[in-house]
Amino acid sequence: MTTLRSRRVVLEEGIRPATVRVERGVVVSIGGGLADEDFGDLVVLPGLVDSHVHVNEPGRAEWEGFATATAAAAAGGTTTIVDMPLNSIPPTTTVAALVEKRAVASGRLTVDVAFWGGIVPGTESEVGALLDSGVCGFKVFLTDSGVPEFPPVEVSTLMDLDPGLPLLVHAESDQHLTAPGPTYSEYLDSRPPIAEAEAIAALAGAPGPLHILHVSSAEGVAQIDANDQMTGETCPHYLTFTDDDVTSPLFKCAPPIRGVNHREALWSGLLSGALGMVVSDHSPSPPELKSGDFATAWGGIASLELRLHVTWTGAAARGIGLGSVAEWLAGAPARLAGLDDRKGTIAVGKDGDFVIFDPDGMTPVRGKDLFQRHKSTPYEGMALRGAVKRTVLGGDAVFDGRIVGAPRGRMLERR
């Protein structure tokens, strides 16, 4: 049995002193009394859940991989990630591809991992078998994904598709997208907010739970808020940077980082409930793919390890408490992925996954110190609020200033 105590444990009912007891990896009681370790005023958060991570293995292991991605997750307080069906080769659009991906991941996981399936034209018949194999839901693109093996689907296809699990949509309308020029202003103009808003609006009436990925604009927030069928997410980079901060292709992502009015609309969307979560959309690539100009560089930001620090920096500056942060970074992503029977909150019967966090500490960002495979980051040189002191998976430390012990993460299925 493992017991830990703090004067600030983040529970569903609020933040209070508590002793948490874990036995065989599961929380068995929350109450008073002495503990094996007393963390004093350090905050005990539930282990974070990141439901939007591109591990890219197999097929693009030179971009990232399960060993490095899950180590980065642990260093940032994330105890569960849900892997996206691209940019691996093959993409996770068939059971055979899922089996291959699980085989590559086996024995290399510092934290727990679940999997999304994907749908591309011609693989609709695979949906039932992927459901039976335990995927958490399905991702689709309405526009070019950036990789040829994951082409977009038509909105009309989604109207006839009801997998019964969340359908995760990269929502940008081709009607309003244009070829970008080499500068950031030209790239920004090539993917205007109306492309996001009209794609979301076009999904109204589609069956099943709809989840809109990486919302970047005020218009996108408004469309989701107007549709009770939809949930939405945003990402740390949209909550932090504005177009004035963009100095190199390290900041390039799709949809793009926009003006300050959009950033503040995203924070308002989180507070109103129009947006439910903050996920990393960890999309790494080799440095050479992030060089050049904004027309040719890869569009993705790697921030799996920094999600808690970046979000807390922005939240604390706006007077938002850690209870909300825990919901956005743990509770809501766990529910989306159907893992909330064991993940996302500290509660009896759930996994003993925790983050020991100093909310008043500071974390200087030095790319060379990050655990992700490639060290380039748009956050280089920033001083972020908060410091992860320990990450606990199933009652055992997996990060304590360094990765602790052999890989012990599990592969999860949606129940």
The domain that contains 305 carries what CATH number?
Answer: 3.20.20.140
What pTM value is reported for the model?
Answer: 0.98
Q: Cα–Cα–Cα angle for 244, 247, 252, nearest 5°?
A: 95
Residue 369 lies in a domain: no
Would you say residue 217 lies in a domain? yes
Domain-located, residue 221: yes
* Cα 67 from Cα 407, distance rounded (Å): 8
374 occurs within a structural domain? no
Cα separation of 224 and 240, whole Å?
A: 21
- Which amino acid is present at 412? L
* 407: in domain: no
Instruction: Classify residue 353: in a domain, yes or no.
Output: no
The token pair that represents 146 in the structure block: 């950036």
Whether residue 249 lies inside any domain: the answer is yes
Give the DSSP H/E element, type plus range, for residue 8. Answer: strand 2-11
User: Is residue 360 a contact partner of residue 56, using CB atoms and an 8 Å limit?
Assistant: no
Q: For residue 338, what are its two tokens?
A: 């159907």
Q: Which residues pair with 14 in a beta bridge?
A: 11
Number of structural domains found in the chain: 1
Long-range contacts of 293-298 (CB under 8 A, 24+ apart): 293/182, 293/183, 293/249, 294/180, 294/181, 294/182, 294/183, 294/184, 294/186, 294/187, 294/249, 294/252, 295/179, 295/180, 295/181, 295/182, 295/186, 295/187, 296/182, 297/249, 297/252, 298/146, 298/249, 298/252
Quote the CA–CA distance of 10 and 175 in Å, as a whole number: 45
Domain, as residue range, for 99: 46-343
> Tens-of-pLDDT digits for all 415 residues of the chain?
799 999 999 999 999 999 999 999 999 999 999 999 999 999 999 999 999 999 999 999 999 999 999 999 999 999 999 999 999 999 999 999 999 999 999 999 999 999 999 999 999 999 999 999 999 999 999 999 999 999 999 999 999 998 899 999 999 999 999 999 999 999 999 999 999 999 999 999 999 899 999 999 999 999 999 999 899 999 999 999 999 999 999 999 999 999 999 999 999 999 999 999 999 999 999 999 999 999 999 999 999 999 999 999 999 999 999 999 999 999 999 999 999 999 999 999 999 999 999 999 999 999 999 999 999 999 999 999 999 999 999 999 999 999 999 999 999 999 8
Residue 232's H or E segment, with its range, is strand 230-234
Report d(CA 1, CA 21) in Å as an integer: 7
**Residue 152: its pLDDT value, please?**
98
Residue 149 main-chain phi, psi, to 5 deg: -80, 0
Going from the C-alpha of 61 to that of each of 1, 57, 104, 280, the distances in angstroms are 38, 5, 10, 19
Residue 327: how many other CB atoms lie within 10 Å = 21
Residue 281 lies in a domain: yes
Instruction: Give 40's DSSP letter.
Output: T
Q: Which residue has the tokens 């979000």?
A: 311
